[in-house]
Amino acid sequence: MIAAARPLPMRALVWLIAAALAVFALARWLESRPVAELPIRQSSAGAPSYAVAIAQMDRKLAGLRQLAAGRPDDWLMQERIAHQLMQRARLTGSFHDYADAQAALDRGFATAAPRSGPHLTQAALALSLHRLGVAERMLDAVDHYAVPAEAEVRAGEDAMRGDIALYRGQYGRARDVYLKLGEAGERPDQRLAIFWSKAGRPDDALAAIRRVERAGLVPGQALAQLALLRGTIELQRGNWDQADAAFADAERRFPGWWLSEAYRAQMLALRGNYPQAIRAFEALTARNDDPMLCDAIAGLYRARGDYAQTEFWAARAAKGWAERLRLLPEAALGHAVEHELAFGSAGRALDLARRDFANRPHGATAIALGWALIANNRPAEALRLIDAVNRSSWQSAEQHLVAARAHALLGQSEAADAEQDTALGLNPHALDPTATLLWYGH
C-alpha cells in the first residue's frame, strides 16, 4: 500500500514560493537588461568617397558604352548601362542620369525578343520615377516568363510589390509583404525601417536600421544612406541633436556626398544659423543643380528679409523644376508642389498636387494636396482628405498641422487646438518658426 503524500510544512512551502519568485525576478531582470549591440563594421570594399564613386561609375559607363556600340542587338548590354546610370542617379540626384537610364532600357526593349528583356530593371527604375503602373506591368511580365524566376529574383519582385502597395496607400498589404519576406529568410529591414517610420513607430524603424548596419561588413556608401534615414527619422520626431549626429555620421562614412552635406546645412538653418547655412547651400549649388538647394537658399534669404535674393534663387529653382517636370514629370511632382506653395502659384500647386496624389495616393502626397487645398481656400476639402489620412496607419506631425489649419479656417478652434497638440506630441519642433526651412528629410 502506497502511503499518502504528506503536505509540506509551512516553512518549506514559503521557501519554495520565495525561490520561484526569485527565479522569476531574475528572468525578468535578464530580459530587461540592454543587450550589447555588435559594432558597425565598415567594409573597405566599394568607393571610399563620393568623388571616387562617381569616377568609378563613369569609367564603367564608358567601357560599357564602347562594348554596346559593337553589340547593338544585345539588350543585356543596354540593361547593364541602365543599371550603372541608376546607381549614379541615386548618388547625384540627377534627372538626366535617370532619363539616360530610361533611354538605355528603351533601346534594350527595342531589340529584345518577345517575353524577354530588362523587365526587372525597368520595374526598379519605374519605382524610382514614381511610375507605379509601369512597375507593376514589368513585374507581371516577369511572372509570365517561360522559365520561372529564381528565388532571389522572386524575393526582389515581392519587395517591389510591397513598395507599390505602400505608395498606393495599401499600408497593411505593404507591411504583410515585408514581414513575409523576413519570415522567408530575406532581409527587408531597410524597407521595414521606412514603413515603420511612416506608421508612427520610430523606435521599430531605428531598430530595423541597426540590424542592417550590423549585419556584417557594410560599404561606406550604404552606411551613409542608412545614417541619412536614421537622421530623418530623428528629425521627424524632433530629436535634432540625434539627427545632427546621424547626418554627420553619413558625411564621415562617405565623404563628399552633396546630399549628406545638404542635410547638415539644413540643420544649421533649423537652428537659426542663417549666414552659415546660406554659405553651405550656395557652395553645394556650385557642384549640383538640384533645385531643392535653390529653394532652401530662397527660404533662408526670405527669413532674413532679403527679398531680392529670395526672388533670384526662387526663379533659379523654378527653372530647375520646369526642366525636371519636362524630363520625368511623375518623379518631379512632389517637390515641385512644395516649390509652388512656397514661392509660386497656389493654383499651379493644386494642379500638381492633384496629379501626384492621383498617381501615388499615400500619406505624403495627401498632406501636400491638403496644403495646396488650404492655399486655395478650400479647407473643408482639405479636412476630408486629411481625416482619411488620420484614420489610416500613416502618422506624422505634418498631417495634424494640415488638419489644425483647416479647422482654424473653418472657425473650429477647439478641434484646431487638439490637432496642434497632437502634432507637437509627435514632434515638439513642429511649430518652430524655422520649420518652414525644412526641405530635406520630411
pLDDT band at 33 (very low <50, low <70, confident <90, very high): very low
292 closest CA partner among 253, 254, 331, 255: 331
Cα(104)–Cα(110) distance, rounded to whole angstroms? Answer: 10
Is pLDDT larger for residue 152 or for residue 177? Answer: 177
Cell of 357: 496624389
Cα(172)–Cα(393) distance, rounded to whole angstroms? Answer: 8
259 closest CA partner among 209, 224, 286: 224
Average pLDDT in the chain: 92
* Residues 300-337: tens digit of each pLDDT: 999 999 999 999 999 999 999 999 999 999 999 999 99
Is 70 exceeded by the pLDDT of residue 348?
A: yes
Cell of 55: 569616377
Mean pLDDT within 179-201: 92
- Identify whether the C-beta of residue 261 lies closer than 8 Å to the C-beta of residue 247: no
Q: Where are the beta strands (DSSP E) in 181-253?
A: 217-219
Percent share of the chain, pLDDT over 90: 83
Cα(364)–Cα(355) distance, rounded to whole angstroms? Answer: 13
- Bridge partners (DSSP) of residue 43 are 219
pLDDT band at 3 (very low <50, low <70, confident <90, very high): very low
